[in-house]
């Protein structure tokens, strides 16, 4: 779906896009958000821009990349050639921005070394009053305001709107830009600082495919369980536990990484597990890797297993018998809350207080759940949630993975594109 009639430009002064400069990541987030929602953004970079090698976002085949910002040595002062610099930038804007309906800038109005860009932008804006400007600023505004031209352009209202990532300092922004009576000119949005874990880190394509199909990013209690699916591994206990999680008002996910489970008895068992999940109303939240991707018929590569654990926050291991369980060790290494079988003495010996324990039963301990099995696991789910919520690091990871992503923050971004240009 292409958003007809709304051409968005992102005006940068980038001469490269491979360094760890955080502003490049912010611009990439905006570019990807626009592409994902049917826009065709134009991205303005310096004329000497060095295109990264390999598969990258910064290619003319991927985005409307415009090398249209004059190459200038950055200078915080006002030199004798200041007006010439302004003219170069202004002329380039006239030649390359005529089709732009919305122009996003980054720090152009805030940084001293972008003063020529700031002045050129204001000059161009006067000639195109219908062009909407959205000025993202990433620095705390200066308290000391200059009054002489052109330094005062850093402290006078720009055309369009200023976008700032927090409301705590929005009053300071208004004061710095002399916006008394025009407070609506400052908009607060954290959308440009969203992070998509599947794009920010270089996960294996198989990891991304499985995570997307199982919708791991959307879950609040996310369990990844690597196991060969014989009945001694008891994944049905995890399903019941997560049904209790959903009953408590939280959104669960279970991805079973089934290893060499293509035989008839394994497939029959998977069918039974899927039926149970459906009966407990979490059928769309329980998945098996071999049924999500044909590459996983005989298992999943070890590095993909570890990457999937990174996208989880809980590991539940209800196996009836184990001597050690390397996957428990791996889960703990990935920093996830670990739930082990209290009825297996080796688990308590090996992992001690580094995990929580539940009564899953074992080859030596038979459990009778009262008043019934599902009610028991509903109660245990409340305990699991309390443990997870009480761990600030894990819960912060959960919130960031779900709520601070481009998908979650898209609405907070798109509405800005439809503001009236003058904001009056």
Place of tokens 């791991």: 216
CATH no., domain 8-194+407-418? 3.40.50.2000
Rounded Cα distance between 424 and 415, Å, is: 16
Query: Smallest Cα–Cα separation from 414: which of 67, 35, 94?
Result: 35
Distance CA 41, CA 267 (A): 47
Residues 6 or more apart in contact with residue 139 via CB below 8 angstroms = 107, 110, 111
Among residues 363, 332, 357, the alpha carbon closest in space to that of 342 is found at 357
Measure the CA–CA gap between 393 and 1, rounded to whole angstroms. Answer: 38
What's the sign of the alpha-carbon dihedral 308, 309, 313, 315?
A: positive
Equal CATH topology for 8-194+407-418 and 198-403: yes
DSSP assignment of 39-106: ---EEEEETT--PPSSS-S-STTTSEEEEEEPP----SS--TTHHHHHHHHHHHHHHH-TT-SEEEEE
Which candidate, 196, 197, 201, 173, places its Cα nearest to that of 185? 173
Say what the pLDDT of residue 80 is.
85
Query: End-to-end distance of the chain based on CA atoms, in angstroms?
Result: 31
pLDDT at 424: 45
Look at residue 1 in the predicted model and tell me its pLDDT.
Answer: 40
User: d(Cα 106, Cα 182) in Å, to the nearest integer?
Assistant: 21
Q: What is residue 8's predicted lDDT score, i.e. its pLDDT?
A: 98
Which pTM value belongs to this model?
0.89
From first to last of the 424 residues of the chain, give the pLDDT tens digit.
Answer: 445 569 999 999 999 998 877 899 999 999 999 999 999 999 999 999 998 887 789 998 899 999 999 998 877 778 888 999 999 999 999 999 999 999 999 999 998 889 999 999 999 999 999 999 999 999 877 766 777 888 888 889 999 999 999 999 999 999 999 898 999 999 999 999 999 999 888 899 999 999 999 999 999 999 999 998 889 999 999 999 999 999 999 999 999 999 887 788 999 999 999 999 999 999 999 999 999 999 998 899 999 999 999 999 999 999 999 999 999 999 999 999 999 999 999 999 999 999 999 999 999 999 999 999 999 999 999 999 999 999 999 999 999 999 999 999 999 999 999 999 874 4
What radius of gyration do the chain's Cα atoms show? 27
Q: Give the domain ranges of the chain.
A: 8-194+407-418, 198-403
CA atoms of 158 and 154, how far apart (whole Å): 9
- How far, in Å, CA of 16 to CA of 14, rounded? 5
Specify the CATH number for 198-403; select among 3.30.420.130, 3.40.50.2000, 3.40.50.300, 3.90.226.10: 3.40.50.2000
Helix, strand or coil, per DSSP, at residue 255: strand
Dihedral class, residue 370 (left if φ above 0, else alpha if ψ from -120 to 50, else beta):
beta
Cα(318)–Cα(309) distance, integer angstroms? 17
Q: What was the pLDDT predicted at 75? A: 75
Angle at alpha carbon of residue 358, lines to 352 and 360, rounded to 5°: 115
């Amino acid at each position: 779906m292409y958003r007809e009639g709304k051409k968005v430009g992102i005006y940068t002064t980038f001469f490269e896009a491979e360094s760890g400069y955080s502003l490049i990541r912010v611009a990439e987030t905006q570019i990807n958000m626009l592409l994902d929602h049917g826009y065709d953004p134009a991205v303005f970079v310096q004329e000497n821009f060095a295109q990264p090698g390999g598969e990258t976002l910064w290619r003319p085949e991927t985005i409307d990349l415009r090398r249209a910002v004059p190459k200038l040595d950055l200078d915080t002062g006002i030199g004798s050639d200041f007006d010439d610099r302004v003219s170069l930038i202004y002329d380039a804007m006239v030649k390359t921005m005529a089709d732009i309906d919305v122009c996003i800038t980054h720090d152009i109005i805030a940084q001293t070394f972008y003063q020529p860009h700031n002045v050129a932008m204001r000059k161009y804006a006067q000639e195109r009053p219908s062009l909407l400007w959205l000025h993202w600023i990433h620095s705390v505004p200066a308290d000391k305001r200059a009054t002489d031209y052109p330094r005062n352009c850093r402290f006078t209202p720009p055309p369009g709107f200023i976008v700032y990532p927090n409301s705590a300092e929005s009053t300071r922004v208004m004061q710095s830009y002399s916006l008394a009576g025009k407070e609506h000119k400052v908009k607060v949005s954290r959308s440009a600082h969203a992070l998509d874990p599947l794009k920010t880190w270089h996960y294996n394509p198989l990891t991304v495919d499985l995570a997307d199909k199982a919708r791991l990013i959307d879950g609040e209690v996310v369990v990844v369980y690597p196991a060969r699916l014989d009945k001694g591994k008891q994944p049905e206990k995890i399903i019941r536990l997560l049904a209790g999680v959903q009953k408590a008002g939280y959104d669960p996910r279970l991805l079973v990484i089934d290893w060499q489970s293509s035989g008839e008895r394994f497939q029959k068992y998977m069918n039974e597990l899927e039926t149970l999940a459906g009966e407990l109303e979490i059928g769309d939240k329980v998945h098996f890797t071999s049924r999500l991707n044909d590459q996983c018929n005989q298992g999943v590569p070890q590095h993909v297993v570890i990457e999937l654990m990174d996208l989880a926050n809980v590991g539940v291991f209800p196996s009836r018998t184990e001597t050690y369980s390397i996957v428990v060790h791996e889960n703990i290494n990935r920093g996830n809350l670990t739930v082990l079988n209290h009825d297996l003495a080796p688990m308590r010996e090996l992992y001690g207080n580094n995990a929580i324990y539940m009564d899953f039963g074992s080859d030596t301990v038979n459990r009778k759940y009262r008043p019934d099995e599902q009610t028991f696991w509903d109660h245990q789910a409340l305990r699991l949630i309390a443990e997870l919520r009480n761990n600030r690091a894990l819960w912060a990871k959960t919130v960031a993975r779900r709520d601070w992503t481009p998908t979650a923050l898209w609405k907070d971004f798109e509405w800005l594109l439809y503001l009236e240009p003058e904001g009056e």
